[in-house]
Homo-oligomer: A and B are copies of this chain.
Amino acid sequence: MSGMPAIILVQPQLGENIGAAARAMYNFGLTELRLVNPRDGWPNDRAGATAAAAGTVIDNAQVFSTTQEALANLSYIYALTVRPRDMTKSVLIPETAIIDSISKTRSGHKVGFMFGPERSGLENTDIVQANKIVSVPVNTACPSINLAQCVLLMSYEWSRQRKTLNLSDSGVDTSTYASVGDVQKLTDFVINTLESRDFFVPVTKKTVMQESIRNMTSRVPVTQKDIQTLWGAVRTLTGKFQKR
């Protein structure tokens, strides 16, 4: 499997921006684009036109209806956001995030960088699914970076650091770490079980409480073996699995 990170655009609005992001990726050798619920549908002619020489990235883009599905077969996620909310996740600058991601790739992870919609950025429900946050240090008088420019910046850093750190495209092993999808399934099971037992009261705090649980499970990377152990433990604890 390639050591190339996936770029995930959550609910991108303008086809032009998707195309410009694809071009920015391909400028620096990245090819794996995933789209979550693009506003104007898919395929999008304007995306292809703007992508120009990066048409191949657009043609091969995968489209998902939820962030959860888009992240499912990845194992380590970075969320790009200009204003990290009050979350207990590490916040990295692009340079450090890329170094970190290359090290994760080397140790067997399939990595993804997730970007939010143009106007609003990523929502908390998306950010909680990430392992770490990336925040670009910008001038506070002009903090808003265009989506494609943000993708460019990360792609550039990846290309730059990859050369510096001499990352090989091959030889990485993704078998040891649990995918985000597997972690999410377990988390969903826990949350649903808790919900069925009226854990989330008062109802006004439900979202925040669920977010903190997702934050916890996404923060620590777990191996596939860990996941099996956790499933066993959770089923045993919830009584939904009768251990002999």
Contacts and interface: CB of A to CB of B under 8 A. Distances in A.
A54 to B, nearest CB: 5
Contacts of A202: none
Interface in A104-155: 136-139, 141-146, 148-149, 152-153
Contact of A139 (B29, B52, B145): B29
Contacts of A52: 142, 144
A26 B149 contact: no
A152 to B, nearest CB: 5
A159 B141 contact: no
A149 B25 CA distance: 12
A95 B156 CA distance: 11
Interface string A10-28: 0000000000100110111
A53 interface: yes
A133 B163 CA distance: 21
A82 to B, nearest CB: 10
Tell me the number of copies of this protein. Answer: 2
- Residues of A in contact with B, size category: 20 to 34
Given A149-B148, A152-B153, A142 B27 contact: yes
Contact of A26 (B24, B26, B139, B163): B139
A160 interface: yes
A139 B28 contact: yes
B142 A53 contact: yes
Given A52-B144, A152-B149, A138 B27 contact: yes
A84 to B, nearest CB: 17
A123 B129 CA distance: 48
B139 A27 contact: yes
Given A27-B143, A53-B141, 14 more contacts: A23-B146, A24-B146, A24-B149, A26-B139, A26-B142, A27-B138, A27-B142, A52-B144, A53-B144, A54-B142, A95-B160, A137-B159, A146-B148, A156-B156
